[in-house]
Chains A and B, each alone.
Chain A
């Protein structure tokens, strides 16, 4: 069961109050666990925990909204976001590009997730002038995958 201590909830709430600018929407794609085991079909073991964690975070600020889609019922929308596996969620806000998350943002990744919400809300991530100037020259799309683990 995903959980955030009351102390951490308060700290995040204060961090959001002080730093969030525009609204951020967390668009989540998930799959509910079926009581029937279907051979050849894997259940999503972390979907419920991920959804719980994201709902806890979104409850910590009026500026953080959450929408949840069942993957099986929202294939077109998932495809539009480039999502083909769950749990997955996208942060939408003032950020110019798209940031997709696959898997639960737990452990070490949790603080990065909170920081990403703030950056998405502000539309900026504290990059250097050199980086910003380079990004402005891009004429091709760039995909950056970051592999992480919770521990």
Chain B
């Protein structure tokens, strides 16, 4: 998604080399995907399901009051 949108940043993080990050994000199985540090899921999902998680993360941000 980062390739096709200037709004999206993608970070690919090798968990074994950065155990502090793996711990911080509770990584026990891979691939683990964390969106906006809020929504997360484990395992490779079909694109449509992936998109639903992105929408969930984004709408969660928009729903947060100032």
Contact = CB atoms under 8 A, between A and B. Distances in A.
A148 B2 contact: no
Contact of B3 (A46, A97, A109, A145): A97
Contacts of A82: 9
A142 B35 contact: yes
Which bucket holds chain A's interface residue count? 35 or more
B4 A146 contact: no
A8 interface: no
A97 B13 contact: no
A120 B34 contact: no
Nearest to A121: B3
Nearest to A85: B18
B1 A97 contact: yes
A128 B47 contact: yes
B47 to A, nearest CB: 6
